[in-house]
Amino acid sequence: MPDILKIKNLSKVYKNNFKALDNLSLNIQEGEIFALLGPNGAGKSTLINTVCGILNFDTGNILVNEFDIKKQYRKARSLIGIVPQELNLEAFETVWDNVNYSRGLYGKSSNYIHIEELLKELSLWDKKDSKLRELSGGMKRRVLIAKALSHEPRILFLDEPTASIDVELRKDMWEVVKRLKKKGVTIILTTHYIFEAEEIADRVGIINNGKIILVDYKDSLISKLGQKILRIELNNKIEKIPYQLEHFNLELNKDMNILTYIYNTKGQNTGITSLLTEIKNLGMQLKDISTEQSSLESIFLNLLKESENELVRS
């Protein structure tokens, strides 16, 4: 797939001289779901807001379907929809007016059928004449999504879409995201929940201190970087880990019958064969052996730690 969004050497310094984006480059492929994962303050919202033209930036450039966000702002912007992190809605307008008006902002002619479909998809149809201030927080978030989609953008940004929403809405949200992907819409969402990236993204980018520290396909990220856990269940309890096994750095559970061994799948030699041979030589009886893939969570935490260490070193 071609890249629909190209961000090159982007830097953003806030007025107080804080550098929120640091020479950041990132390409997004058309039609993918991309999760931008990073802790609070990493620069996720700053990145999204600069790409959407809400915030200015200092150096670098951004191309949306080859349109330059600064030089060809209207063309570039009309391809983008954004659901911002903060709820910012006109309290006294109705749902219908709000969403319909949004479409007009992008120079698109009215399309009541599209707006009706959108409101129905987002379970907002029976609220179409309600004033926004009468809606719950979750409903307001649905309105924000409807607004972002009102002009049929090809790229949708969702900034922390599931922060402080209920389970129901979260489920609906993912349904909407999946339907949009089927229609060919590119989706970029930010989250600081690893499990969300794991659940929905095709690719994951990890951001910290205004820098992208890693971009990869979710699946290959998990398998390439992942450590695996070997769980060895013994037939009989043991008192402690025998000294012959000490160099394997095993852990013994409280019930004294399960040994866990962490190994790296990337390593040349996992050490499993020699571990199992030693165990056999010691006359320990195995009840069961299983392996678990370590989650994106541990990969993420390891990477953040590494990037912090690099900061300290540099």
Ligand X SMILES: Nc1ncnc2c1ncn2[C@@H]1O[C@H](COP(=O)(O)OP(=O)(O)O)[C@@H](O)[C@H]1O
Task: List the single partner that 14 binds among ligand X, Mg ion, none, CB under 5 to 8 Å by kind.
Answer: ligand X
Tokens of 35: 């999760």
Task: List the single partner that 137 binds among Mg ion, ligand X, none, CB under 5 to 8 Å by kind.
Answer: none
Phi, psi angles (nearest 5°) of residue 13: -115, 125
Nearer to ligand X by Cβ, of 31 and 38: the residue is: 38
Nearer to ligand X by Cβ, of 157 and 248: the residue is: 157
Tell me how far, at minimum, the Cβ of 230 lies from ligand X, in Å: 36
Task: List the single partner that 41 binds among ligand X, Mg ion, none, CB under 5 to 8 Å by kind.
Answer: ligand X
Tell me how far, at minimum, the Cβ of 205 lies from ligand X, in Å: 12
Tell me how far, at minimum, the Cβ of 234 lies from ligand X, in Å: 46
Instruction: Identify the residue among 46, 65, 100, 191 touching ligand X (CB under 6 A).
Output: 46
Task: List the single partner that 38 binds among ligand X, Mg ion, none, CB under 5 to 8 Å by kind.
Answer: ligand X
Angle between helices 137-149 and 112-121 (to 10 degrees): 140
Question: Is residue 18 close enough to count as binding ligand X by CB under 6 A?
Answer: yes
Number of other residues whose CB lies within 10 A of the CB of residue 70: 12
Tell me how far, at minimum, the Cβ of 110 lies from Mg ion, in Å: 33
Number of residues that bind ligand X (CB under 6 A): 12
Tell me how far, at minimum, the Cβ of 251 lies from Mg ion, in Å: 37
Nearer to ligand X by Cβ, of 10 and 250: the residue is: 10
Question: Is residue 41 close enough to count as binding ligand X by CB under 6 A?
Answer: yes
Question: Is residue 46 close enough to count as binding Mg ion by CB under 5 A?
Answer: no
Number of residues that bind Mg ion (CB under 5 A): 3
Question: Is residue 42 close enough to count as binding ligand X by CB under 6 A?
Answer: yes
| Cα-Cα-Cα-Cα dihedral sign, residues 271, 273, 274, 275 | positive
190: β partners: 36, 159
Instruction: Identify the residue among 45, 50, 102, 208 touching Mg ion (CB under 5 A).
Output: 45
CA-to-CA dists, residue 111 to 103, 137, 152, 222, angstroms:
9, 27, 10, 43
Instruction: Identify the residue among 31, 32, 38, 50 touching ligand X (CB under 6 A).
Output: 38
Tell me how far, at minimum, the Cβ of 41 lies from ligand X, in Å: 4
- The answer to whether the beta carbons of residues 244 and 76 sit under 8 Å apart is no
Tokens of 237: 């309890």
Site for Mg ion in 68-87 (CB under 5 A): 85
Instruction: Identify the residue among 2, 14, 74, 166 touching ligand X (CB under 6 A).
Output: 14
Side chain identity at 281, as an amino acid letter?
A: N
Contact residues: ligand X, CB under 6 A: 14, 16, 18, 20, 38, 40-46
